[in-house]
Structure 1
Amino acid sequence: MRFEESKYFDLLPHTKIEFSFGNYYFCKNFVISELQEGVHFDWEKILEVIGAMLDYYGEGIEIAYISNRVNPYSIEPQLWYRFHEEFDFIIATATVAYNDFGYINASIEKQFANISLKRCDNLSEALSWVKHLKEFSQN
């Protein structure tokens, strides 16, 4: 389910950022991504998103990332290593997989991630998990 079609869209304060390759929703402690079908999410696109995050949240941020995979797209799993070498502000990731193929891809990416990566069946599960991260318990 797309974030805009969920009950959370009206409940959670957010800012929508539209890129040529997908939509991002910036919330208080987390970001929700929804990439377009068939996109190859490469390093240049990652840098574009990171620039928007730093502009929005500022330096010294700590946020979680929810990949709401409503559409199939590709990413090179080893980009997780490069990301963590250069950036450290995403403290945890939840991947919402709506089918077996998406779940398998998330499992592969989990092997490359240096942070906690939770595979979820729906957006509600991902939001609940992010809300209960110990890093955000005092917020």
Structure 2
Amino acid sequence: MKFENSIYFKQLKHHKVVFPFATYYLCDRFLIAEHNEEVHFDWDKIQQTSEFLIEFYGPNCKIGHIANRVNNYSIDPNLWRKFNKEYGFIIASAIAVYDDFAYRNATLEKQFSSNSIKRCTSLEEAIFWMQNLDEFK
């Protein structure tokens, strides 16, 4: 389910940002990313969004990341390591998946990240997990 079609769209204070390759919903302590269908989320796109997020949240930000996989897209899992080394402002990620293929991809990505990654079967589960992270308490 897309964030805009969920009950959380009206409940969570957020700022919507549309990139040519994705839509991001920036909440107080975390973001929800919905990448466009068939996009390859490469290093250039990561840099573009990271620079925007640092400007939005501040240079010392520590935020959570929810990937709401409502569309099929690709990312090189090795980029998690490069991102953490270069930027490192994501403290934890949740990946909301809606089919077995996406779940297997999320499992692969989990192996490449030094941060906690929770695989979720719904956006609701991802938001609940993110809101209850010890790092935010």
TM > 0.5 fold call: yes
The residue that corresponds to 2:75 in the other structure is: 75
Within 2, Cα distance between the matches of 1:20 and 1:28? 23
| 3-state SS of paired residue (1:106) | helix
Which whole-Å CA distance do the structure 2 matches of 1:50 and 1:83 have between them?
9
Gaps of 5+ in 2: none
Q: Counterpart of 2:114? A: 114
- The residue number in structure 2 matching 1:98 is 98
What is the SS of the residue equivalent to 2:33? strand
Q: Write the letter of the residue equivalent to 1:103.
A: Y
How many residues are aligned here?
137
Task: Give the CA deviation at 1:55.
Answer: 1.2
The offset of 1:83, in angstroms, is 0.6
**Residue number in structure 1 paired with 2:134:** 134
Question: Normalized against structure 2, the TM-score is what?
Answer: 0.99
Q: Which digits, 9 at most, give the CA deviation of each residue in 1:42-95, with x for residues without a partner?
A: 000001110110111011111000000000000000001101111111000000
1:32 is paired with a residue whose SS is: strand
Query: For residues 79 and 6 of structure 2, what CA distance do their matches in structure 1 show?
Result: 30
TM-score calculated relative to the size of structure 1: 0.97
Deviations 1:71-125 (A, max 9, x none): 0000000001101111111000000010000000000000000000000000000
Aligned to 1:36: 36
For the residues of structure 2 that align with 1:12 and 1:111, how far apart are their CA atoms? 30
Query: Where do 1:34-73 residues align within 5 Å?
Result: 34-73=34-73
1:125 maps to which residue? 125
Which consecutive aligned stretches of 4+ in structure 1 deviate over 4 angstroms post-superposition? Answer: none
Q: Distance in 1 between matches of 2:72 and 2:112?
A: 19
SS for the counterpart of 1:77 is: coil
* RMSD (Å) for aligned C-alpha atoms: 0.5
Q: Partner residue of 1:10? A: 10
